[in-house]
Chain A
C-alpha cells in the first residue's frame, strides 16, 4: 500500500511542480528515487513533529501541495494540536500520510501502534479520513488527496499487501462492494481485509455467503450509499484493526442510532486497553478476536442470535 501510495504521488510530480514531500525522519529508502529526481521538493524535518506540522502548514500557505509522511503516532498524536490548529482549523489542503495502522508493527510495542487514530481524526472537522484496504485503494487515495482542496489523512499499513480490487476504483468516496451476499455483511477498512476475506472463504465452504464491503473513506461518510448497500442484510459485522470503541464500529453505531436500519450490528476490533501483549500482527489479531477464524465464528454466532 505504502509504495503504491507514494509512487502515485511521485508519478504526479512529473506533471505538477507544486508537490512537496516532508518526512519526519521516517521512511528509510522510500524517497530515494524521489530525492534523486526532485531534490528541491523533499525535506526531512528531523525528529521534531511540532515544527514539522506547523512548518508544513506554512509551506502550504505559499501554495505548495505538501505531502507529509511519518508513522501515525508522529503524524497525529505527538503533534495533535498542530494538526488541529494549523492544518484543520486553517483548512489547508495538506496530505497527512500515516504508516503503521493498527498493530502492523507488532511486537514493536504500544508506542508504535495506531489503534485509536480514526477516533482522533474524526474529531477534526475539515479533515477527510481514508483507510485503504489494498494497493488499489491506496492509489485512489493518493489521487483523491492530490486533488483535494482540504486536508486529507490517509491511514496505511506497510508495503506488500496484495491487491483485492481487480480494477481501479470508480469512486473512492463510496463504500466498495467486494463480494455479493445476503443476510450478513462483513464491513471493514484497512489491512485487516485479508482476515475478512479468509473468513468469508471459510464460511462459504459452509454455504454462508456474507456480503463483503470495504469503506475506504470514513470521513466524510456517504451515509446514503452505505445505508442503501446494507439495506438487504439483517446482520452487519464490522471488523477493524483499531479500538472497537471509536472506529468504524462507532460510525456504524451512530448510523444505526440515527437511521434505525433493519440490521443488527456486531463490532469486532481491539478491546480498548494499552497493549502489553507481546505478539506479532497475526498473534495480536488472534488475541483480539479479529483473525479469520474469529471473524467466521462471530458471523456464525451473530446469525444464530
Chain B
C-alpha cells in the first residue's frame, strides 16, 4: 500500500499517487525523448523538470553555449575477461538502453566525440570490480559510456568522479538476461565542478541491477537514473546517499518504468544537509504500466537537515495503471537534527561532535552496508567524518 509521511521543517516535501490512463510522468516533460539537442527548447527554469535546478550555475550546458574545451582523465581497470573499446557514435550499442529526455542529456549525446564501451562477456563472473576513474582537469567535457553486461554475467562497476570540470554525459547499462550488475557511482568532485548525467538502465529478463549513487562534491550535481525492463522477472535496487554542504546543489531524479510483468524495484535515497543554501532535490518517479502485472515496488527518500539554511525538495510520484500488482508504495520524510536532540544525547554523556556523528552514521548505516566494496565503504565513512568536522 502507498503511504506518504512528511515531517517537513524548513523543507518542502510533496507526494502524489496518480491512477490515470495518461501518464503525467511523460506529459510533464517539455519535449519527447530525442537524441538531437535541437528537439528540446532551451529551458527557462519554469519547466517541471528544471524548476528546482539553478540554470545560471549550469555553465551553459542547457543553452548551447558550453563548448567542449576541457579534459577528463579516464582510467579503467578491469579483469582480463572484460573488454574496453573506444567506438564511433554509429555503434549499435550506443543509446540502446535509453534516449535522452532533457536538453542537457541530448546536448551530451550530440556533443560527445567517442564513446567508451565496456563489455562483460556472457556468463563471465567477475571476482574483482571494474573500476572507472574519471578525474576532471578543468573545462567542459561531454561523454558517453556503455556498460554491456551480457547474459548471466556478474559484475561490480565502480565509477569514481573526482577533480574539477563541467561534465555532461549519458551512461548506458545493458543488463543481459539473467545477469547481475552492481554499480557504485561516487561523485566526489571539487566544490566547483558541475556534473549532469543521465543513466539509462535496461534490465533483461530475470536480471538484477543494483546501484549505489554517492554524491558528496560539486557545485551542482544533477543525476537522472532511469530504469526500464526488457522482460519479466527483472529486479532493480536503487540506493543513493548524498551529503549536501553549504552552497551545493545536488539533485537526484529517478524514473523506474515498469512495463514488463513480475518485476521488482526498490528505491532508497538518503541525504544529509548542512550549511547555508545547501539544496538537495529528490524526484522519484515510478510508473506501473498496464502491462506490468505482478509489479512490486517501493521508493523512499529520507533527509536529515543538520543546520539552518539548508533546503530539501522531495517529490515521490507513483503512477499505477494496473491494479494487478503485488505492492506499490512510497515515502518521503525530512527531519532535523536540532538543539533538543543534541541536548538529549549530550545529557547522556555523549560529546557534541560524537552525538552528531552518531546521528549521521546511524542515518546512513543501512546504505553504506549496501555498497559491498570495502575501500569505497571506508572512503565514504571517512568522507562523512570529514564533512561533519567541517560543520562544527
Say if A and B assemble together.
Answer: no
CB within 8 Å of A: which residues of B? Answer: none
CB within 8 Å of B: which residues of A? Answer: none
